[in-house]
Amino acid sequence: MKKKIAVIGTGYVGLVTGVALSDIGHQVYCLDVDPNKIDKLNQGISPIYEPGLEDLIHKNMYADRLHFTTEHSMAFKDADAIYIAVGTPERADGSANLDFVQQVAKDIAANVSDRGAVVVTKSTVPVGTNKLVKHWITDALDRDVQIEVVSNPEFLREGSAVYDTYHGDRIVIGAETEAAADLIEAINKPFGVPVFRTDIESAEMIKYASNAFLAAKISFINEIGTICGKLGANIEDVAKGMGMDKRIGDKFLNAGIGYGGSCFPKDTKALVQIAGDVNHTFDLLESVINVNNKQQQIPVDIAQMVVRGGLAGKKVAMLGLAFKPNTDDMRESASIVLAQKLTELGANISAYDPIAIENAKRLLPETVHYAANTEEALQDADVAIIVTEWDEFKDLPLTVFEKQMKQPIVIDGRNCYPLSYVETANIDYHSIGRPSVIRAKKSNQPAK
């Protein structure tokens, strides 16, 4: 059952959703108010870095199933489903800003076909928003049009979003009527992903609760890692032993310098605010957020302890700037906090990332130098901090640190290397929740 679908917003969620829906055979019109972005997309150029996405754009544009436009009338004409995938940025109090969603609702009312449509909310929105969307649309309509609103939250991981679309754990559909749910289930059937149907409010909460739980696992293992570091235990062994318990599982038990990106930080704060709106203090989640904020400071604390004479005037190589590998997204990246702290301490930063440098330039201090490659970033550095676990860094021979750096001191914020491998190299190595490996100890010689 092939349908005409409009997708409003061409960010990470909207673009991947629209492209994937066209790839399974639907006629898709992706709408955005930014003409420059639409111009690039019409040339087959993706505004975001997501593995495999640009190839799918080319494929489905060539097949005449995928279209990009700034014209609401073109996108909405005879559309069976209209997907809302615009941003819901965080307000100062942690709540979600729904201004873009409300504007889209007004645009739908002004341009939807007389035969009506099912409006599908992909944007992450607080519980109750979908019913607000229906109210906003119907209130703005100047004619009798049948509108249904469905909550269909996304569970895509940046850097793996295309893969996740075709191999997801579930598709959640929250609807008021069986007919609306049936349509959205039929649209998604070619993906072959299990469907879970529920009411609208539960679907909205599933998104927040899922992200908050995963964030809690990350903060928990990071707290255990801090304790391991003080007791001489190895967090990797602890996590492996924990993960073998099927009740716990081994996912999201990798100690590091915290989570970032567009989802976990924003959604955890929003859920705290949602709880506050119903007079509930979410103590657990507030602690999760506090732990994550502290975690991003750890590499700077280590650097201050291990670099003799302090960091003022010292060269610090930052390897990785994006919040995670395989994306150019800098939102809430640990690199932002690290660069600010290191700059305040007088360090000279040389940074490198395979993809995210252009986005980083808008967020990091102006004094940061951006290197063309790993070797340049490390050249004559006093200390190196691995911020993002790109394969390029994980596969880097440790001899590169020895050869390029003034002092081969490596602070690994993502535990990229097995300690057994580090012990074969002539470097000082500090990681998260694992014993440090020091040159002087390996050679039984005092440190110079």
> What is the pLDDT averaged over residues 110-118?
92
User: Chain-wide mean pLDDT for the chain?
Assistant: 94
The three-state secondary structure class of 180 is: helix
CA distance 359 to 357: 5
State pLDDT tens for residues 53-98.
999 999 999 999 999 999 999 999 999 999 999 999 888 888 889 9
What pLDDT score does 86 carry?
A: 96
Please state the residue numbers annotated as binding site. Answer: 32, 37, 88, 124, 155-158, 207, 252-256, 260, 266, 324, 331
- Residue ranges, comma separated, of all CATH 3.40.50.720 domains in the chain are 4-198, 201-447
Catalytic residue, chosen from 30, 228, 263, 416, is 263
Give the pLDDT band of residue 195 (cuts 50, 70, 90). Answer: very high
Instruction: Give the tokens for residue 418.
Output: 């097995």
> What are the tokens at 30?
């992706």
CB 102 within 8 A of CB 108: no
pLDDT tens track for 377-392: 999 999 999 999 999 9
What pLDDT was estimated at residue 443?
A: 57
User: Does 223 have pLDDT greater than 50?
Assistant: yes
Which pair of structure tokens corresponds to residue 189?
């059937």
CA atoms within 13 Å, Cβ hemisphere of 129: 29
The third-level CATH classification (topology) of the domain covering 4-198 is: Rossmann fold (3.40.50)
What pTM was estimated for this model as a whole?
Answer: 0.91
Whose structure tokens read 């990071």? Answer: 222
Residue by residue, DSSP assigns 111-141 as H--TT-EEEEE-S---TTHHHHHHHHHHHH-
Binding-site positions for substrate read 155-158, 207, 252-256, 260, 324
Task: Please tell me the predicted confidence (pLDDT) of residue 441.
Answer: 66
Q: Binding site for NAD(+): what residues are annotated?
A: 32, 37, 88, 124, 158, 266, 331
Q: Label residue 296 by pLDDT band (50, 70, 90).
A: very high
pLDDT-derived band of residue 446, with 50, 70 and 90 as boundaries?
very low
Question: Structure tokens of 55?
Answer: 């190839």
Asked if residue 337 has pLDDT above 90, the reply is yes
Confidence band for 448, pLDDT divided at 50, 70 and 90: very low
Residue 265 has pLDDT above 70, yes or no: yes
**Do the strands 348-352 and 117-121 form a parallel or antiparallel pair, or are they unpaired?**
unpaired
* CATH for the 201-447 domain, from 3.40.50.720, 3.40.50.620, 3.30.70.20, 3.40.50.300: 3.40.50.720
- Residue 70, both tokens: 């700034």
30 is catalytic: no
Asked if pLDDT for residue 180 goes beyond 70, the answer is yes
pLDDT reading at 133 higher than 50: yes
Is the pLDDT score of 445 beyond 80? no
Average the pLDDT over 234-260 and give the result.
95
Question: Angle at the Cα of 104 (from 101 to 109), degrees rounded to 5?
Answer: 130
- Please count the residues of the chain: 448
Q: What is the pLDDT of residue 95?
A: 85
Q: What's the average model confidence in pLDDT over 328-353? A: 96
What is the Cα–Cα distance from 118 to 137, expressed in whole angstroms?
12
Phi, psi of 345 (to 5 degrees): -85, 0
Segment 308-335 mean pLDDT: 95
pLDDT beyond 50 at 285: yes
In this predicted structure, what is the pLDDT of residue 261? 87
- Taking only the tens place, the pLDDT of each residue in 392-444 is 999 999 999 999 999 999 999 999 999 999 999 999 999 999 999 998 666 55
pLDDT band, very low/low/confident/very high, at 276 (cuts 50, 70, 90): very high
